[in-house]
Amino acid sequence: MIGRDLTLLGEKITIVSQNKLRVDGDVRGNVHGKQVTITEGGSVEGMVCAEKIEVNGAVRGAIRAVTVTLSGTSEVDGDIMHKSLAISEGARFDGRVRRGDEQELMPVLDPEAIAAGEYN
The residues, ordered by sequence, that sit 6+ positions from 28 with a Cβ below 8 Å of its Cβ are 7, 8, 9, 10, 13, 45, 46
Q: Which residues pair with 15 in a beta bridge?
A: 31
Confidence of residue 105 (pLDDT cuts 50, 70, 90): confident
> Residue 11 has what pLDDT?
66
H helices of 1-120, in order, are 102-105, 111-115
* Per-residue pLDDT at 3 exceeds 70: no
Q: Residue 70: what pLDDT? A: 98
Burial letters for 8-43: b for 16+ Cβ neighbours within 10 Å, e otherwise? Answer: beeeeeebbbeeebbbbbbbbbbbbbebbbbbeebb
Q: Is the pLDDT of residue 120 over 60?
A: no
Q: Does position 23 have pLDDT exceeding 60, yes or no? A: yes
Can you tell me the mean pLDDT for 73-89? 97
pTM of the complete model: 0.88
Higher model confidence: residue 14 or residue 70? 70
Q: Nearest-CA neighbor of 34 among 115, 105, 84, 88? A: 105
For residue 117, pLDDT over 90 is answered with no
Q: How large a percentage of the chain has pLDDT more than 90?
A: 61
